[in-house]
Amino acid sequence: MEEKLKRLKEESESAGLYININKTKGMRVNTSNTQKFRLGNTEIEEVRSFVYLGSVVSENGGTEEDVASRIKKENCVFVQLYTVWRNHNISKRVKIRIFNTNVKSVSLYNCGTGKTAKQITRRLQIFVNKCIR
């Protein structure tokens, strides 16, 4: 494993890219190998999950953590727009358009990269229904 990481470092440096060991993390997916990640004398920290481009990537490959994270983000946006929802001068049609473009888009961003299951779709739909009420 260490030799592969060393080769990665050499190849990236030849292209002008340098690996910051302090920011580098390692994660194993579906393997029984428990050998530590090392680059030179430095051991690379192993993590169970991390955020990449706004999506949560976990070692079990599931999307439950990602969906929970998206619902939390949607809820934050929904709460920030609370004054819009309570404003009686804004029509329902406009409020629904604001909801679709600002709240729903948070959960739909990058959603094509994960597997879709009935349970995940149902959880997101429950949140949307709760907000629309």
pLDDT digits 0-9 by tens, 75-90? 888 899 989 989 999 9
In a domain, 128, yes or no: yes
126 plus 65 within the same structural domain: yes
Q: What is the pTM of this model?
A: 0.56
Please report whether residue 69 resides in a domain. Answer: yes
| pLDDT for residue 117 | 64
Domain that holds residue 107: 61-132
Pair (10, 65) in one structural domain: no
Q: 62: closest CA among 121, 122, 116?
A: 116
In a domain, residue 101? The reply is yes
Q: Please say if the pLDDT value at position 93 is more than 60.
A: yes
Is the pLDDT score of 94 beyond 80? yes
> Do 76 and 120 fall within a single domain?
yes
Residues 18 and 40 in one domain: yes
- Count Cβ atoms below 10 Å from residue 44 Cβ, excluding itself: 17
Which run of H or of E encompasses 26?
strand 25-26
C-alpha distances out from residue 60 to 27, 49, 65, 120, Å: 10, 9, 10, 16
